[in-house]
Structure 1
């Protein structure tokens, strides 16, 4: 029914290597970075290409597209997104930004879903750029649910009291590997 692929997105973020600020990262096994990322992308592409799942979902910590505090992760948009598009991925899910959001890709059926509002919320901290495709944004605390069948996907975003803030459905026809 579904295949979920988790991607370690932290090594993609160049600034973590160049200017880690007060963070301490253990990069053993990651360096050389370019080699690690190339192998990771090859593995992701192979797994997606070989997948016969009705729904293909990729999960990473960092957003590819976001209007939240951190915004888009350019390195993921450059390196990972083309692989997702080429392999008919339905959903890319992430946290990192402390918000709930749903963005539809303007060039493919991919839906970008952020659920990073479990604890600290950054009220009013919204990027004014890249609002194209934005279906929903909430800067309070909450969570997301996903329900899948052979032909239907239902994504729902909730506040902390369980009130549905946004609901979105995708339908697939038999043999179709792109969400509508």
Structure 2
């Protein structure tokens, strides 16, 4: 058993096998359902309504029987953490998400702002000793029986970051962009092909489809999306744009869900030219978060605003599809 497993074994089982992304086991509830909250772009020491969003997350988490939390990156602003003992970890995470329903595992990917600091610090087991909820790796799988969630480290995909003059990035684990991305995509493709889950979800920081400030990420469209389509992925969840969105793919069943409104939102910052408006089912430029509940036959996605009010609900099954607001 690895040291990582020893740290986490009281909460979650860790499975490592050759040729596959590291896997965390989250058993479904006794009724066969799985529920989680997705939040992104949040870590601002409670500012920009982060604390208010956190309160509503706790309330909704209690209501839905929360199993775990998914974080879509940009976990600590403005420049990630500077070390494993950076006070920003407690000030933006441990001291903010205090509701009893949120005392579950938090599965997190890195965002581009996290790469501006000491990216390795967020991956360190030291943080799990400080707060046992914290699980952050570059790429990994959460296996919740009927649902498998494939977390992908998307920042190294973006070519502009390697030449950006205004910021520096922690590329210690990425000696070659092409080699790193090729290896990651190979492991992801193999893991997706082997998956027997009813629902397949991919989580990354950057958007594949978005009408927000950043818009689509061309590298993900070119390199990640084809693998998702080939392997029956149902949902792609991301942050990066500080808004809430639901966009349908035009030539596959994949739904693109943005939850990047955990604190600072970008009011009125919309880029509608990047997508066919007919594919946009929902867009909200304020703060909030998203919940997801899955059974063997159905999935329910709900977006909430900063007051915990429902903004958009979408329900799907493997046989029928309908949505409502």
Q: Which has the larger strand fraction?
A: 1
Q: Point out 4+ residue stretches in structure 1 off by more than 2 angstroms.
A: none
Report the number of matched residues: 174
Aligned-residue offset at 1:29: 2.2
Aligned equivalents of 2:297, 2:224: Cα separation in 1:
26
Q: Is the contact between residue 106 and residue 132 of structure 1 (CA under 8 Å) also seen in structure 2?
A: no
Is 1:54 matched with 2:198? yes
RMSD between superposed Cα atoms in Å:
1.1
Structure 2 segments unaligned to the other structure (5+ residues): 1-145
Equivalent-residue separation in structure 2 for 1:62 and 1:93 (angstroms): 9
- Residues of 1 paired with 2:168 and 2:298: CA distance? 43
Q: Does 1:5 align with 2:150?
A: yes
What is the alpha-carbon distance in structure 1 between the residues aligned to residue 168 and residue 278 of structure 2?
Answer: 35
- The 8 Å contact of residues 68 and 125 in structure 1, kept in 2 or not, is answered as yes
Deviates most, 8-17 or 26-35: 26-35
Structure showing the higher helix proportion among its residues: 2
**What's 1:137 paired with?**
283
Q: Give the Å deviation of 1:114.
A: 0.2
Name which of 295, 306, 320 aligns with 1:160. 306
1:39-64 CA-partner distances (Å, limit 9, x unpaired)? 11001100100000000000000001
For 1:29 and 1:9, how far apart are their aligned partners in 2? 13
Q: Which has the larger radius of gyration?
A: 2
The TM-score with structure 2 as length reference comes to: 0.52
What corresponds to 1:176 in structure 2? none
State yes or no: 1:40 paired with 2:188: no
For the residue of structure 2 that corresponds to 1:53, the secondary structure is coil
**Structure 2 matches for 1:100-119, cutoff 5 A?**
100-119=244-263
Write the distance in 2 (CA, Å) between the matches of 1:17 and 1:76.
Answer: 16
Secondary structure of the 1:101 match is: strand
Q: 2:267 aligns with which of 123, 137, 151?
A: 123
Cα distance in structure 1, aligned partners of 2:227 and 2:303:
27
Aligned to 1:90: 234
TM-score by length of 1: 0.94
Alpha-carbon distance between aligned partners in 1 of 2:175 and 2:225, rounded to the nearest angstrom? 22
Secondary structure at 1:121 match in 2: coil
Q: Does 1:148 align with 2:294?
A: yes
Of 23, 26, 30, which residue of structure 1 is paired with 2:170?
26
Question: Retained in 2: the 8 A contact 1:150–1:172?
Answer: no
